[in-house]
Structures are given as C-alpha cells and as structure tokens.
Amino acid sequence: MSQPAESPAAPETAPKPKPAPLSLRKGARLAVVQALYEMEISDKGVIEALAEFEAFWIGQEVDGVVHPPAETAFFRDVLRGAVEEQRAIDPKLDAALAKGWPLRRLEVVLRAILRAGAYELMFRRDVPARAAISEYVDVAHSFYAGDEPGMVNAVLDRVGREVRSTEFGIPAAPKKG
C-alpha cells in the first residue's frame, strides 16, 4: 500500500503582507510631524527635511527605533503644504485655541501636530475631516500620555467645523450677494 505524499513543510516565516494604504498614511503623518519639529528646532528648509526623512527616517531604524513606512507622495504633500500654507493655517489655529493660549505658546511637537492636521482639514478635501482629526489624535498619543491628545481633538474639531461645516452636519452659510 502506498502512503499519501507528504505536503512540503510550510516555511517557518511567511512573507510579511504589504502595509495597507491607511497604515502608510499613518506613517506619513507621523513623519510629517517629526519633520516639522526637526525643521523648527534646527531651521532646516523643507527640501532638506524631505531629503533627510525620505533617505534616513521613513521605514528605517534610527537609534534603535524602527520608524514606520510611509506613503511618500502624501508625506511630501502634507509637509510642503503645512509649510507653504502656514500663514493661512496659524490664524485658524489661534482662533480655535483658548483665549490667552496663542499657537506660539504651545510646545513645538504640539504645534507641528496641529499645523499638519489643519493643513489636511483646510486643503486636502480628499481626506474626510473626521478621519484627519482622528489620525492626528492618534499621532498625539504617540508623543503624549496626558491631556494633549484631547486638546488636539478639540482644536482640530473646531477648525474642521469651520472649514468643512457640511461634513459635520452644519448647513453651509448662505452666500452674501
């Protein structure tokens, strides 16, 4: 009697699945915040920051920390946009912050999170407002264990309700004419 042929043994380590696009965007958002922070504390320009992060940070191990892979085009757009549109973004954030707490008083990482989130809310209509807010709250949790993520949520929610009111069920204001 013949025995059935044994199937070949499964490899001990299966290939890792490619990250889903959403997780690549999460990585891009985290990298944007880190790059904005780096730019502010070192006076680097956007071109230098883009080159450095794409070559040495995104998806790389740095000082024992593995940085997540990222959607490069999204990273570039949000970083460039947050820098180029800062004059439009900062007044929106100042208006959304509590009186007596202008953006310049906030810690550098918090400013970076808020600027990147506000850029997406104001200029990336392809990203749902609530998704952008949630993503930047998650980014804030990467850096803070206290009240800061709640503040990020509140500030970006105020900005989102102003610039994308219909996504929050607020009727658009009638146009003056």
**Over the stretch 16-69, which tens digit does the pLDDT of each residue have?**
555 445 589 999 999 999 999 999 999 899 999 989 888 887 777 778 877 777
Tokens representing residue 147 in the block: 């009240």
In whole angstroms, what is the distance from residue 99 CA to residue 95 CA?
8
Listed in sequence order, the residues at least 6 apart from 66 whose beta carbon sits closer than 8 Å to its beta carbon are 60
Environment class of 124 (CB within 10 Å of its CB; exposed 0-12, middle 13-18, buried 19+) = middle
In whole angstroms, what is the distance from residue 122 CA to residue 129 CA?
9
Full set of structural domains in the chain with CATH = 21-164 (1.10.940.10)
* pTM, 2 dp: 0.82
Provide the β-strand partners of residue 66.
61
pLDDT score of 127: 96
Listed in sequence order, the residues at least 6 apart from 97 whose beta carbon sits closer than 8 Å to its beta carbon are 103, 106, 155
Q: How confident is the model at residue 176 (pLDDT cuts 50, 70, 90)?
A: low
Asked whether the beta carbons of 39 and 46 are under 8 A apart, the reply is: yes
> Does residue 138 have a pLDDT over 70?
yes
> Does residue 94 have a pLDDT over 90?
yes
DSSP string, 37-65: HHHHHH---HHHHHHHHHHHTTTSEETTE
